[in-house]
Amino acid sequence: MMAKQFKKYGVDHSALYEAVNRDNRYHDDKAKPAPVQQEGVATPLASDTSPPVKAGDAGSGDAKPDVILPTPPVTPEPEGAQPTPKTPPPAPVESQPKQESAPKKAPPAETGGTNIPVRMRPRFPADGVSPSYDSLARDHGPELAFKAIFRRAFDEYRALMDAGSLPNGPRDYAIGKGSHSSTKMLTASQYQLCMETLDPNGLLPPMTVGRIIAERALALFFEKDRRTNAG
């Protein structure tokens, strides 16, 4: 009908007519309802037409089967056997207190080159025994004066002992107030000479023997000092 109307006005609109028909067909297709799937009816799946896979074709050609290590055999214990006792850890070792060794006495003299310390405590002289000591004591005090006199007297006495015997002379002097503690060194031969002369039986204490040696050296020095300063 539309085509007849177009020809009535002398216009060939066949192309336009075809376009309108296509548009109508498009709208008719959209207006059709979609197929409804019935509830409970499963849609059949397409069958798998792929060839079956062989057991050896799966995975890489280099794949290796899993290796299962054998389990070591377990040796059952005989019936009635006692379980092996565990060794207890060693007990801690307590440190023993260090025992103090007893003081050693001076070794006996055997050679002339060994020096032996001798403890001694000589007493101060009384006034008038030694002019040199009295003069030094007035200027510097009795302690310093006695130390200076005793050092010189003992060195001279020790040199005289090298002759092989104790010097002859006075063995004591008048005693004053005070004393002086000291330790002097004797060679092994000098120590042996003093012990054989002053304490042959070994009955005197070492400190007593040392005091006797020191006061003999002082007595000899005081006598010489009096002679030198007499008159």
pLDDT digits (tens, 9 = 90+) for 77-94: 656 556 566 676 676 666
pTM: 0.52
* Closest to 174 in 3D by CA, of 225, 125, 211: 125
> Which pLDDT tens digit goes with each residue over 29-64?
655 555 555 555 455 555 555 555 554 444 444 555
Helices (H) and strands (E) in the chain, counts: 6, 4
Per-residue pLDDT for 173 more than 90?
Answer: yes
Domains in the chain (CATH in brackets) are 115-228 (1.10.1220.190)
Decide if pLDDT at 133 tops 80: yes
Given a contact cutoff of 8 angstroms between Cβ atoms, the answer to whether 120 and 182 are in contact is yes
Identify the pLDDT of residue 98.
61
- Which two three-digit tokens encode residue 72? 């070591």
Please report, rounded to a whole number, the percentage of residues in the chain having pLDDT higher than 90: 45
What is the model's pLDDT at position 86?
A: 66
